[in-house]
Chain A
Amino acid sequence: MSLLDFDFMRRALVAAALVGLIAPLIGVFLVQRRLALLGDGMGHVALTGVGLAFLLGTAPIPTAMAAAVAGAFLIEFIRYRSRTAGDVALALLFYGGIAGGVMFASLAPGRAASSLNSYLFGSLSTVAEGDIWALALLCLGVVAVVAVLGRELFAVSLDADIAAVQGIRVRTMSTLMAVLAAVVVVVGMRVVGLLLVSAIMIVPVAAAQQVTRSFRATAVLAIVLGLTASLTGLVGSFYVEVPPGPTIVLVALLSFAVLAVVAVPIRRRRREVR
């Protein structure tokens, strides 16, 4: 029996493709702004949303979304208010997110706490029919925002001061970037899991930038790597019967290692040409 004969597997593949596409798309901006850990923090905060959903009996995706977006605004607020203490303040927020998530889930009736695991590391079977449409819509939103505002986001991540002197609203763009990261976290929550979803934002970008010479090429290659990692990782986890999150991230890390080796002769040749 082929894996495509399973409805749940088809849905999981679509969800994996969606996150593989948009996670590196937002990741390039985060890495360029040196905010690689922002997505990580957002995942922790979203976990509180999931715990709350268990406790209140609401749908996990909208609740996690609300928590992550609230987290995005809070993080930008903290970063703006305290340049120096921002690092520690963010750490507090992240720990609070994890603790809150586990706490709420444990207080919730039934077996909520045990299904929290599938939110932490991803699962093949939890993507529901209705989820697919919600995830697709969110992805479409992210792609549309980047299509229109991507250049301004790029300018802000290159140098916030000169972006401001070009008339770009730096704070709005920073907040937008955090919100976009929050959306990616929620889209990747089911398949990759909240603890590892930010890896799919960062690892393909880190892998791609070893061999590229431009921002655009980095973004394109990172998306290709992200898609490849999330699809092959998902299929792999179907056969090996492990959670998909770790498998996807390990495939992405493998692409990093391969490109690290490939990059050496490429750089040498470029140097010789010059």
Chain B
Amino acid sequence: MARTKIVLAGEGGQGVQSIAKILVEAGYEANKEVLYIPNFGVEQRGGVSIAFCQIADERIGEPRYSKGDIVIMLSDRAIDRCETYVDKNSTVVYDTSVCTKKPTCECKEIIGIDANKIANEQLSARVFNIIILGVLLEATHVLELSDIKNAMELALGKKFDAKPELRELNYKALEMGMSLVAQKAGV
């Protein structure tokens, strides 16, 4: 049975849960079986925020899993908390422009991306998480770009209609994220 297990972790406020919601909504709309658990502490800002997402072809059993196929770490604390979700079959993605260290866990592949830097310098700090969504899309290959765009319309459509340039900005961020992984995979 094809099942993709994703662990998405960062600091509270980085938008981890927002993109997890878009991701699973896209999966649901694409008629996949999906399950998403948000995991965070009592803080409104800060603290490690983790999203456990599953996208599958058949009904999903366990809501929580031990190891992720893709584990995304967007801060030093996220690296500390989430190495436990990594094994030899996991692909680990971390942000070199946020983290001051590199994950040291044994895994299939470690991909370093500088999404935060790119967001700040080339796009907007507000679409940092959308770049990560693009990274996820390219790294998992379980959903189509059009699925994600549809789900973004559901989540952000009203904002897009009010300011159409936001739609373009978000699309650019998505594509940027996808290309970051594609480049690394080609190396």
A and B are partners in one complex rather than unrelated chains: no
